[in-house]
Amino acid sequence: MKSTFLLILIFASSGLFAKSLNLEVSSTIKSNKQVENINSKLRVELNKEFTLPSKKSKILMRVEELKGLSRGPGGERPVLVSAEIYHIYKGEKELVSKPHIITHLGKEASFSTTDYEGREVKLTVKPLLIE
């Protein structure tokens, strides 16, 4: 029993268990007079790419904990949220935007852009608890 507990303690302290967090994401993509809204609450692993569910787009995201940057006024840890947003048309995907947003846990951050073809993208994220 003691040896099992010791092994668990060693693995936990070595960082082999992936950290995860809760993430609220909303995105609006306007293209060719079509609008796609995505609202999701997800549990994701830090430093691991994941895909948001979407019909007309492909949105790849990744969240990283930023060490070495100052914490927020309430001690909130900073995180970097990266995304790759692709428009899918006739089976082909084309990169629309590749935003990177720095925010703190519990704080909402937004990004919006319009590309050369008039496609608009708005991405809002709110990272919550890191476990």
**In terms of C-beta density within 10 A (0-12 exposed, 13-18 middle, 19 or more buried), how is residue 118 classed?**
exposed
pLDDT along the chain (131 residues), means of 10: 47 55 88 84 92 82 86 83 86 86 90 82 87 68
The identity of residue 55, as a single letter, is K
| pLDDT at site 44 | 92
Rounded Cα distance, 13 and 6, in Å: 11
- Does the pTM of the predicted model rise above 0.85? no
